[in-house]
Amino acid sequence: MTTEISTTPARGLALTTMADAMKFGEMIANSDFAPKDFRGKPASCVLAIQAGAEIGLSPMQAMQSIAVVNGRPSIFGDAAMAVAKASPVCEHVTETIEGEGEQMVATCTAKRRGYPAPTVSRFTVADAKKAGLWGKSGPWSQYPRRMLQMRARGFALRDAFPDVLRGLVTAEEAQDYPTATATAEPAKQPVVVRPKFEQAALPAPVDDPVGKARLAVSRATTIDGLDALRRLVEERLAEGKFTQAQHAELVKLMHHRAEMLIGDGDTEHFDSQEVEAEARS
């Protein structure tokens, strides 16, 4: 069964079946004739040829005139002008650029046969500034007159001959559209579950040195204070008043308390000598 891929007679090489189109697409994709974005991509070549065929371009014309910008087909401005002028509905298209520097105004006038008034489109430097194009690196800095002309041309041709261009936007205009970029969400900090130090929940008997040390840790408000307690706990361990298990427990509590102080950014003054005295009593 034959599958036709074009809706209008093609000039030059005629591709009437999908097999012919894929074979030709592979030939183009592996040749120097393929534009950079189509090299090594036979399927993209075939789709570009089909997009060109729908507006009357031959396969080779389509490969040089159709571009894919942000996943959508577009047509270069000179090719759009050629397609429009070749159509019997086009009476004439004229273009002018007036002024110099930031006073430049590009005008494109497209007259459709049988319509009383032409379609007139203007694109000024002020329009380019509003769109964030004026002074933009690339063609807008290197060829500003040409880019103003292309923008006025694209608007006029699409308004006057939408049926001829079949909705294709000019590649020069499509390349200026902002692209939606996915913004990575900021990495979420891992949730650290720290023990709560409720003074009311930490009663310490008078003869309980470990309980007093826990209470002193919970009341510490600076890193310096915790460091003083660390030295005290080391002394108690050396004196044999704390076991290794008690020492390890207190050091772990100090680490958690230090993380809380750093996270809270607490800069309240802390009298380490007062806490040491409380823990020793």
Q: For the chain, what are the domain ranges?
A: 1-69, 75-177, 199-280
Which two structure tokens, joined as six digits, stand for 261? 């102080």
In the prediction, which pLDDT does 79 show?
A: 94
Q: Let me know the angle formed at the C-alpha of 94 by 88 and 100, rounded to the nearest 5 degrees.
A: 160
Dihedral sign (CA 217, 219, 224, 229):
negative
Task: List CB contacts of 54: < 8 A, sequence separation 6 or more.
Answer: 6, 7, 8, 166
Q: What is the mean pLDDT of residues 26-38?
A: 90
Predicted TM-score (pTM) of the model is: 0.57
- Looking up tokens 């000598």 gives 273
Bridge-based pairing of strands 90-98 and 169-170 is unpaired
Q: Which of 7-11, 135-139, 147-151 has the highest mean pLDDT?
A: 147-151
Is 107:121 a contact under the CB 8 Å cutoff? yes
Bridge-based pairing of strands 105-112 and 90-98 is antiparallel
d(CA 158, CA 168): 8
Q: How many Cβ atoms are within 10 Å of 173's Cβ, its own excluded?
A: 20
The helix (run of H) or strand (run of E) holding residue 67 is strand 66-69
Start-to-end Cα distance in the chain: 99
Q: What is the mean pLDDT of residues 245-259?
A: 81
d(CA 2, CA 5): 10
- Looking up tokens 């950079």 gives 36
Q: Is the pLDDT of residue 269 over 60?
A: no
Q: Let me know the angle formed at the C-alpha of 200 by 195 and 202, rounded to the nearest 5 degrees.
A: 55
Which two structure tokens, joined as six digits, stand for 111? 């007259």
Q: Is the pLDDT of residue 140 over 50?
A: yes
Q: Which of these, 111, 118, 115, lies nearest to 92 by C-alpha position?
A: 111
pLDDT tier, 208 (very low <50, low <70, confident <90, very high otherwise)? confident
